Amino acid sequence: MIEIKNVSKTFNQRTGGTFTAIDNVSLSIKKGEFLSLLGPSGCGKSTLLNLVAGLEHAQQGTITVNGKPCNTPGPDRVVVFQEHALFPWLTVLDNVAFGLKQKGIPKKQREEMALEQIKSVHLSRFADRYPHELSGGMKQRAAIARALAMDPEILLMDEPFAALDEQTRLILHKELEEIWMRTKKTILFITHNIREAVILSDRVLVMSTRPGTIKKEFNVQAARPRDSADPVLRHTENSIMDVLADELEKVVKEEMGDEYSLKKDSLSNRSSDSMGSGI
């Protein structure tokens, strides 16, 4: 469904010269697939997602969705960001109905459609609240409801749960899994959290940095709904941790000098810990 072929993206640097954020990346994403991108900070995950969203343009290569180039944002692709996604001056209902209003759907009908999505993320009791009256988890659920209300074929999620505490995150994992199983949307998901990637995805791609390329691909062949105690998940997490640890070692050496080494043993064994923020 999504075909990324030999895509490279460079940015002009303020100090002069160019910087290659993505280098010759090729990737196919099947209809209905849940695919996650993991990788060190700055490896080009958001750049890749923004290219698929049509928010950025590649200098080389092509990106198509259902065979059509995606040079501009389109109703078939909706992005869910980490935060600041809701309009603070609108209630949850009006936020979720916003895109439907833009589409010209009459008030009664769009409110019904919005309420249905609000119900699907279990926020019915909070439909009349403003964003500042919601918890972080509720805000993200409202943002997901808003994306679903547009009924896109593809959800592009850039660290949607990164700002949430661990318990809220676990609840949101269950909700997103349930939404995905029900709607069979195609999801491109970015995270720094290995456990999150493994629990949610059919496939996890680990990216390497400078320039950003795809280093390794993991298929997660555990039954759904996923059980966090499933040994298949644990095993996949450990394999991903090994590949990421090598990548982080490379980044650390580049940033701190060759004499610096990141001992693998010193990395947390809890892959639920995020490995992002500054690395």
Ligand X SMILES: Nc1ncnc2c1ncn2[C@@H]1O[C@H](COP(=O)(O)OP(=O)(O)OP(=O)(O)O)[C@@H](O)[C@H]1O
Sole window of 39-47, 65-73, 126-134, 169-177 interacting with Mg ion (rule: CB under 5 A)? 39-47
- Chosen residue from 36, 46, 140, 191 binding ligand X by CB under 6 A: 46
- Chosen residue from 1, 5, 42, 216 binding ligand X by CB under 6 A: 42
Q: Smallest distance from the beta carbon of 47 to ligand X, in angstroms? A: 3
- Chosen residue from 4, 7, 25, 46 binding Mg ion by CB under 5 A: 46
11 near ligand X, rule: CB under 6 A:
yes
45 near ligand X, rule: CB under 6 A:
yes
Q: What angle do CA 51, 54, 55 make, to 5 degrees?
A: 80
Between the alpha carbon of residue 135 and those of residues 88, 89, 162, 167, the distances in Å are 13, 16, 14, 13
Sole window of 44-52, 71-79, 131-139, 251-259 interacting with Mg ion (rule: CB under 5 A)? 44-52
Q: Rank residues 44 and 131 by Cβ distance to ligand X and give the closer one.
A: 44
Cα gap 161→81, rounded to integer Å: 9
Find which of Mg ion, ligand X, none residue 42 binds, CB within 5 to 8 Å per kind: ligand X
Cα gap 141→129, rounded to integer Å: 13
How many residues touch ligand X under the rule CB under 6 A: the total is 12
Residues 78 to 117: which contact ligand X by CB under 6 A? none
Q: Name the site residues for ligand X (rule: CB under 6 A).
A: 11, 19, 21, 39, 41-47, 276
Q: Name the site residues for Mg ion (rule: CB under 5 A).
A: 46
